[in-house]
Amino acid sequence: MTTLEIKNLHASVDGKPILQGVDLVIKAGETHAIMGPNGTGKSTLASVIMGHPRYEVTEGSITLDGADVLEMETDERARAGLFLAMQAPQEVPGVTNSDFLKTAVEAHAEERGEPFKIFSFIKEYDKALTELKMDADVPERYLNDGFSGGEKKRNEILQMKLIKPKIAILDEIDSGLDVDALKIVGENVTAMKGDGLGMLLITHYQRMLSYIHADIIHVMMKGRIVKTGTTDLMKKIDEQGYDWIKEELGIEDERVGVEVKEPTFLEPDSLADAFKK
Protein backbone atom coordinates (compact mmCIF):
# COMPACT_ATOMS: atom_id res chain seq x y z
CA MET A 1 0.00 0.00 0.00
CA THR A 2 1.36 3.41 -1.01
CA THR A 3 2.39 5.61 1.90
CA LEU A 4 3.72 9.15 1.82
CA GLU A 5 5.45 9.94 5.08
CA ILE A 6 6.56 13.40 6.11
CA LYS A 7 8.63 13.65 9.30
CA ASN A 8 9.67 16.80 11.14
CA LEU A 9 9.91 18.74 7.88
CA HIS A 10 11.59 22.13 8.03
CA ALA A 11 11.95 24.25 4.91
CA SER A 12 12.86 27.79 4.08
CA VAL A 13 12.66 30.16 1.17
CA ASP A 14 15.39 32.75 0.58
CA GLY A 15 16.76 31.91 3.99
CA LYS A 16 13.42 32.58 5.69
CA PRO A 17 12.10 29.53 7.60
CA ILE A 18 8.52 28.62 6.60
CA LEU A 19 7.88 24.99 7.50
CA GLN A 20 8.79 24.31 11.11
CA GLY A 21 8.34 20.63 11.76
CA VAL A 22 5.52 19.13 9.69
CA ASP A 23 4.51 15.54 10.45
CA LEU A 24 2.02 13.88 8.14
CA VAL A 25 1.30 10.36 6.87
CA ILE A 26 -0.93 9.83 3.81
CA LYS A 27 -1.88 6.30 2.80
CA ALA A 28 -3.48 5.03 -0.40
CA GLY A 29 -7.23 5.59 -0.40
CA GLU A 30 -7.12 8.28 2.30
CA THR A 31 -8.14 11.87 1.72
CA HIS A 32 -6.54 14.46 3.96
CA ALA A 33 -7.33 18.13 4.01
CA ILE A 34 -5.05 20.83 5.29
CA MET A 35 -6.90 23.95 6.28
CA GLY A 36 -5.72 27.17 7.76
CA PRO A 37 -5.63 30.87 7.16
CA ASN A 38 -3.44 32.41 4.46
CA GLY A 39 0.29 32.57 4.99
CA THR A 40 0.61 29.60 7.36
CA GLY A 41 2.75 27.46 5.05
CA LYS A 42 0.14 25.23 3.37
CA SER A 43 1.19 25.91 -0.22
CA THR A 44 4.84 25.79 0.78
CA LEU A 45 4.30 22.24 2.00
CA ALA A 46 2.84 21.31 -1.40
CA SER A 47 5.76 22.93 -3.25
CA VAL A 48 8.34 21.28 -1.01
CA ILE A 49 6.80 17.83 -1.56
CA MET A 50 6.99 18.37 -5.32
CA GLY A 51 10.52 19.79 -5.18
CA HIS A 52 10.13 23.42 -6.21
CA PRO A 53 13.66 24.79 -6.71
CA ARG A 54 13.01 27.90 -4.63
CA TYR A 55 12.52 26.00 -1.37
CA GLU A 56 15.29 24.53 0.70
CA VAL A 57 14.67 21.66 3.07
CA THR A 58 16.72 22.25 6.21
CA GLU A 59 15.58 19.33 8.35
CA GLY A 60 13.36 16.27 8.31
CA SER A 61 12.39 13.74 5.68
CA ILE A 62 9.81 12.84 3.03
CA THR A 63 9.53 9.25 1.90
CA LEU A 64 7.25 7.51 -0.56
CA ASP A 65 7.01 3.80 0.23
CA GLY A 66 10.34 4.13 1.96
CA ALA A 67 12.10 5.84 -0.97
CA ASP A 68 13.74 9.17 -0.16
CA VAL A 69 11.71 11.77 -2.01
CA LEU A 70 14.06 14.62 -1.11
CA GLU A 71 16.82 12.89 -3.06
CA MET A 72 14.68 12.92 -6.21
CA GLU A 73 14.37 15.59 -8.92
CA THR A 74 10.89 16.98 -9.51
CA ASP A 75 10.32 14.78 -12.56
CA GLU A 76 11.44 11.68 -10.65
CA ARG A 77 8.98 12.50 -7.89
CA ALA A 78 6.23 12.73 -10.49
CA ARG A 79 7.17 9.41 -12.03
CA ALA A 80 7.32 7.85 -8.57
CA GLY A 81 3.62 8.68 -8.25
CA LEU A 82 3.33 12.19 -6.81
CA PHE A 83 1.15 14.81 -8.45
CA LEU A 84 0.55 18.43 -7.57
CA ALA A 85 -2.42 20.29 -8.99
CA MET A 86 -1.05 23.79 -8.74
CA GLN A 87 -2.65 26.88 -7.39
CA ALA A 88 -1.40 28.97 -10.30
CA PRO A 89 -0.63 26.70 -13.27
CA GLN A 90 1.98 28.10 -15.63
CA GLU A 91 1.16 29.29 -19.13
CA VAL A 92 3.51 27.93 -21.77
CA PRO A 93 2.85 29.49 -25.19
CA GLY A 94 4.04 27.43 -28.13
CA VAL A 95 3.54 24.07 -26.41
CA THR A 96 0.17 22.51 -27.11
CA ASN A 97 -1.78 20.83 -24.33
CA SER A 98 -1.82 17.57 -26.25
CA ASP A 99 1.94 17.52 -26.91
CA PHE A 100 2.60 18.35 -23.29
CA LEU A 101 0.30 15.71 -21.87
CA LYS A 102 1.34 13.07 -24.38
CA THR A 103 5.00 13.58 -23.44
CA ALA A 104 4.14 13.37 -19.74
CA VAL A 105 2.04 10.20 -20.07
CA GLU A 106 4.77 8.70 -22.28
CA ALA A 107 7.36 9.36 -19.56
CA HIS A 108 5.18 7.60 -16.98
CA ALA A 109 4.63 4.60 -19.27
CA GLU A 110 8.37 4.34 -19.85
CA GLU A 111 9.02 4.44 -16.10
CA ARG A 112 6.64 1.52 -15.61
CA GLY A 113 8.22 -0.35 -18.51
CA GLU A 114 4.96 -0.30 -20.43
CA PRO A 115 4.53 0.61 -24.10
CA PHE A 116 2.86 3.95 -24.75
CA LYS A 117 -0.36 3.44 -26.64
CA ILE A 118 -1.22 6.55 -28.59
CA PHE A 119 -4.78 5.54 -29.48
CA SER A 120 -5.84 4.72 -25.96
CA PHE A 121 -4.22 8.01 -24.92
CA ILE A 122 -6.34 9.96 -27.43
CA LYS A 123 -9.46 8.08 -26.35
CA GLU A 124 -8.81 8.74 -22.69
CA TYR A 125 -8.01 12.39 -23.40
CA ASP A 126 -11.32 12.87 -25.22
CA LYS A 127 -13.20 11.11 -22.47
CA ALA A 128 -11.60 13.25 -19.77
CA LEU A 129 -12.40 16.43 -21.73
CA THR A 130 -16.06 15.42 -21.88
CA GLU A 131 -16.17 14.45 -18.21
CA LEU A 132 -14.69 17.79 -17.21
CA LYS A 133 -16.95 19.63 -19.68
CA MET A 134 -14.00 21.27 -21.39
CA ASP A 135 -13.90 22.62 -24.94
CA ALA A 136 -12.92 20.17 -27.67
CA ASP A 137 -10.24 22.55 -28.94
CA VAL A 138 -8.24 22.42 -25.69
CA PRO A 139 -5.73 19.81 -27.00
CA GLU A 140 -4.65 22.06 -29.87
CA ARG A 141 -4.45 25.21 -27.76
CA TYR A 142 -1.21 26.16 -26.06
CA LEU A 143 -0.67 24.97 -22.52
CA ASN A 144 -2.89 27.08 -20.25
CA ASP A 145 -2.21 30.03 -22.58
CA GLY A 146 -5.09 32.46 -22.36
CA PHE A 147 -7.10 30.02 -20.22
CA SER A 148 -9.51 31.42 -17.67
CA GLY A 149 -8.83 30.63 -14.02
CA GLY A 150 -11.48 27.92 -14.07
CA GLU A 151 -10.16 26.37 -17.28
CA LYS A 152 -6.67 26.16 -15.81
CA LYS A 153 -7.95 24.32 -12.75
CA ARG A 154 -9.92 21.86 -14.85
CA ASN A 155 -6.85 21.33 -16.98
CA GLU A 156 -4.93 20.35 -13.82
CA ILE A 157 -7.55 17.72 -13.00
CA LEU A 158 -7.53 16.54 -16.61
CA GLN A 159 -3.77 15.99 -16.43
CA MET A 160 -4.23 14.15 -13.14
CA LYS A 161 -6.82 11.84 -14.69
CA LEU A 162 -4.46 10.80 -17.45
CA ILE A 163 -1.28 10.63 -15.39
CA LYS A 164 -2.98 8.54 -12.66
CA PRO A 165 -0.77 9.36 -9.67
CA LYS A 166 -0.58 7.39 -6.43
CA ILE A 167 -0.67 10.46 -4.21
CA ALA A 168 -2.19 13.72 -5.43
CA ILE A 169 -1.92 17.11 -3.78
CA LEU A 170 -4.57 19.61 -4.78
CA ASP A 171 -3.47 23.12 -3.88
CA GLU A 172 -6.42 25.50 -3.64
CA ILE A 173 -8.08 23.78 -6.55
CA ASP A 174 -11.32 25.58 -5.63
CA SER A 175 -10.00 29.10 -6.12
CA GLY A 176 -11.25 30.64 -9.32
CA LEU A 177 -13.98 28.03 -9.73
CA ASP A 178 -17.67 28.86 -9.72
CA VAL A 179 -20.12 26.48 -8.07
CA ASP A 180 -20.88 24.54 -11.27
CA ALA A 181 -17.22 24.06 -12.07
CA LEU A 182 -16.47 23.12 -8.47
CA LYS A 183 -19.15 20.43 -8.70
CA ILE A 184 -17.64 19.01 -11.90
CA VAL A 185 -14.12 19.04 -10.43
CA GLY A 186 -15.46 17.46 -7.22
CA GLU A 187 -17.17 14.63 -9.10
CA ASN A 188 -14.09 13.90 -11.18
CA VAL A 189 -11.75 13.90 -8.21
CA THR A 190 -14.11 11.77 -6.11
CA ALA A 191 -14.31 9.23 -8.94
CA MET A 192 -10.53 8.77 -8.74
CA LYS A 193 -10.65 7.94 -5.05
CA GLY A 194 -12.00 4.50 -5.95
CA ASP A 195 -8.65 3.55 -7.49
CA GLY A 196 -6.86 3.78 -4.17
CA LEU A 197 -5.60 7.32 -4.74
CA GLY A 198 -4.22 9.02 -1.66
CA MET A 199 -5.01 12.72 -1.57
CA LEU A 200 -4.03 15.89 0.16
CA LEU A 201 -6.38 18.82 -0.30
CA ILE A 202 -5.15 22.27 0.56
CA THR A 203 -7.74 24.93 1.10
CA HIS A 204 -8.67 27.74 3.38
CA TYR A 205 -12.39 27.44 2.90
CA GLN A 206 -14.36 24.34 3.71
CA ARG A 207 -16.40 25.05 0.54
CA MET A 208 -14.43 22.50 -1.49
CA LEU A 209 -14.83 19.84 1.18
CA SER A 210 -18.57 19.65 0.55
CA TYR A 211 -17.71 18.40 -2.95
CA ILE A 212 -14.74 16.20 -2.08
CA HIS A 213 -15.10 14.37 1.20
CA ALA A 214 -12.00 14.43 3.37
CA ASP A 215 -11.43 11.70 5.96
CA ILE A 216 -8.89 13.58 8.01
CA ILE A 217 -8.69 17.33 8.61
CA HIS A 218 -5.52 19.12 9.64
CA VAL A 219 -5.09 22.72 10.64
CA MET A 220 -1.82 24.40 9.84
CA MET A 221 -0.44 27.42 11.65
CA LYS A 222 3.06 28.82 12.00
CA GLY A 223 4.43 26.22 9.58
CA ARG A 224 3.23 23.22 11.58
CA ILE A 225 0.18 21.02 11.79
CA VAL A 226 -1.36 22.20 15.03
CA LYS A 227 -4.59 20.23 15.09
CA THR A 228 -5.92 17.06 13.48
CA GLY A 229 -9.47 15.80 13.51
CA THR A 230 -12.37 14.62 11.37
CA THR A 231 -15.52 16.19 9.94
CA ASP A 232 -16.38 17.68 13.36
CA LEU A 233 -13.25 19.80 13.29
CA MET A 234 -14.15 21.08 9.85
CA LYS A 235 -17.64 22.02 11.03
CA LYS A 236 -16.30 23.87 14.03
CA ILE A 237 -13.92 25.86 11.82
CA ASP A 238 -16.77 26.59 9.46
CA GLU A 239 -18.88 27.98 12.31
CA GLN A 240 -16.27 29.65 14.49
CA GLY A 241 -13.25 30.33 12.26
CA TYR A 242 -9.70 29.80 13.48
CA ASP A 243 -9.52 32.13 16.46
CA TRP A 244 -10.45 29.46 19.03
CA ILE A 245 -7.56 27.32 17.86
CA LYS A 246 -5.19 30.26 18.18
CA GLU A 247 -6.47 30.95 21.68
CA GLU A 248 -6.25 27.29 22.65
CA LEU A 249 -2.65 27.10 21.49
CA GLY A 250 -1.64 30.59 22.54
CA ILE A 251 -0.77 31.69 19.01
CA GLU A 252 -0.95 35.41 18.35
CA ASP A 253 0.07 35.56 14.72
CA GLU A 254 -0.57 32.32 12.87
CA ARG A 255 1.53 33.37 9.87
CA VAL A 256 5.11 32.42 9.10
CA GLY A 257 7.81 34.14 7.13
CA VAL A 258 5.85 37.38 7.25
CA GLU A 259 7.82 40.21 8.70
CA VAL A 260 5.78 42.26 11.09
CA LYS A 261 6.68 45.83 10.27
CA GLU A 262 7.01 48.25 13.15
CA PRO A 263 5.44 51.58 12.26
CA THR A 264 8.27 53.90 11.35
CA PHE A 265 6.29 57.10 11.62
CA LEU A 266 3.29 58.29 13.59
CA GLU A 267 0.02 57.76 11.74
CA PRO A 268 -1.60 61.23 11.38
CA ASP A 269 -4.96 59.57 12.10
CA SER A 270 -3.78 58.43 15.48
CA LEU A 271 -3.58 62.09 16.52
CA ALA A 272 -7.23 62.70 15.79
CA ASP A 273 -8.26 62.17 19.43
CA ALA A 274 -5.18 63.64 20.96
CA PHE A 275 -6.67 66.93 22.33
CA LYS A 276 -10.10 65.86 23.51
CA LYS A 277 -9.32 65.39 27.17
Residues that bind another protein (CB under 8 A): 50-53, 73-75, 77-79, 83-84, 86, 89-90, 92-95, 99-101, 103-104, 107-108, 111, 142, 159, 163
Nearer to another protein, 23 or 76 (CB): 76
93 forms beta bridges with none
Nearer to another protein, 61 or 96 (CB): 96
Q: What is the DSSP string of 124-161?
A: HHHHHHHHTT--TTGGGSEETTT--HHHHHHHHHHHHH
Mapped onto helix, strand or coil, the DSSP state of residue 58 is strand
Which value, to the nearest 10 degrees, does the dihedral of the CA atoms of residues 89, 90, 94, 97 take? -20
8 A C-beta contact, residue 193 and residue 29: yes
Q: Which residues of 144-181 are buried (b: 16+ CB within 10 A; e: fewer)?
A: beebeebbbbbbbbbbbbbbebbbbbbbbbbbbbeeeb
In whole angstroms, how close is the CB of 244 to another protein at the nearest point?
36
